[in-house]
Homo-oligomer: A and B are copies of this chain.
Amino acid sequence: MGKNMMIGQSGGPTAVINSSLAGAIEYGLLAEEIDNIYGMINGIEGLLEDNIINLTLMFKSLPHELNRLKHSPAMFLGSCRYKLSGSEEEYRNIFNLLEKHQVGYFIYIGGNDSMDTVKQLSDYGARHNIDVRIVGIPKTIDNDLVGIDHSPGFGSAAKYIAACVREVAYDTSIYSIKSVHIIEAMGRDAGWLTAASVLARQDNMPAPHLVYLPEVPFSVEQFIRDVKKKLEEYNSVIVVVSEGIKDENGEYISAKQDTGADRFGHARLSGTSAYLKSVIEEEVGCKVRALEPSVLQRSAGHICSLCDVNEAFNLGSVAVRAALDGKTGVFSTLRRTSDKPYCVEYYTEDVAVVANNEKRVPRGWINQEGNDVTEEMVTYLRPLIRGTVQTPFRSGLPDYIDIRHLDIKAQKYKD
User: Which of chain A's residues 232-258 have a Cβ closer than 8 Å to chain B?
Assistant: 257-258
Residue of B nearest to A177 (CB): B81
**A302 interface residue per 8 A CB criterion:** yes
Report Cα–Cα, A332/B205, bound state, in Å: 33
Determine which of B80, B167, B257, B305 lies in contact with A73 in the assembled complex, contact meaning CB atoms within 8 Å.
B167
The residue in A302, A396, A405 that gathers the most chain B C-beta atoms within 10 A of its C-beta is A396
Assess the B299–A396 pair: CB atoms within 8 A: no
Report Cα–Cα, A326/B389, bound state, in Å: 47
Report Cα–Cα, A168/B159, bound state, in Å: 18
Assess the A170–B296 pair: CB atoms within 8 A: no
* Contact residues in B for A199 (Cβ distance below 8 Å): 395-397
Residue of B nearest to A171 (CB): B299
Residue of B nearest to A294 (CB): B291
What is the 8 Å Cβ interface bit string for chain A, positions 166-204, against chain B (1 contact, 0 not)? 111011111110000100000000000000000110111
What is the 8 Å Cβ interface bit string for chain A, positions 116-135, against chain B (1 contact, 0 not)? 00000000000000000000
A78-B176, A205-B404 given; A302·B171 CB < 8 A = no
Count residues on chain A whose CB falls below 8 Å from chain B CBs. 67
Report Cα–Cα, A287/B166, bound state, in Å: 31
A202-B402, A204-B404 given; A294·B299 CB < 8 A = no
Report Cα–Cα, A356/B42, bound state, in Å: 54
Report Cα–Cα, A300/B300, bound state, in Å: 13
Report Cα–Cα, A382/B299, bound state, in Å: 23
**A322 interface residue per 8 A CB criterion:** no
Determine which of B202, B267, B393 lies in contact with A257 in the assembled complex, contact meaning CB atoms within 8 Å.
B267
**A357 interface residue per 8 A CB criterion:** no
A303-B303, A395-B386, A396-B385 given; A205·B167 CB < 8 A = no
- Least distance between A324 CB and chain B CB atoms (Å): 28
Assess the A302–B299 pair: CB atoms within 8 A: no
Residue of B nearest to A170 (CB): B74
Assess the A174–B269 pair: CB atoms within 8 A: no
* Contact residues in B for A172 (Cβ distance below 8 Å): 295
The residue in A13, A170, A257, A307 that gathers the most chain B C-beta atoms within 10 A of its C-beta is A170
Residue of B nearest to A298 (CB): B171
**A93 interface residue per 8 A CB criterion:** no
- Least distance between A360 CB and chain B CB atoms (Å): 24
**A285 interface residue per 8 A CB criterion:** no
**A164 interface residue per 8 A CB criterion:** yes
Residues of A within 8 A of B (CB): 9, 13, 42, 72-75, 78-80, 159, 162-164, 166-168, 170-176, 181, 199-200, 202-205, 257-258, 266-267, 269-270, 274, 289, 291-296, 298-303, 305, 307, 382, 385-388, 393, 395-398, 400, 402, 404-405
Report Cα–Cα, A236/B293, bound state, in Å: 19
Report Cα–Cα, A17/B53, bound state, in Å: 49
Residue of B nearest to A203 (CB): B405
For this chain, the copies found in one complex come to: 2
Report Cα–Cα, A199/B395, bound state, in Å: 9
Assess the A397–B295 pair: CB atoms within 8 A: no
Can you pick out 22 interface pairs between chain A and chain B where the beta carbons lie within 8 Å of each other?
A: A42-B174, A72-B170, A74-B171, A78-B175, A78-B176, A79-B174, A159-B397, A162-B397, A166-B397, A167-B301, A167-B398, A171-B299, A199-B396, A200-B397, A205-B402, A269-B269, A269-B274, A289-B295, A302-B303, A382-B396, A386-B395, A388-B393
Assess the A299–B405 pair: CB atoms within 8 A: no
* Contact residues in B for A74 (Cβ distance below 8 Å): 170-171, 173-174
For the complex with contacts A78-B175, A167-B300, A167-B398, 8 further pairs of A-B residues with Cβ separation under 8 Å are A73-B167, A78-B176, A166-B397, A167-B296, A203-B404, A205-B402, A258-B266, A291-B296
Report Cα–Cα, A393/B385, bound state, in Å: 11
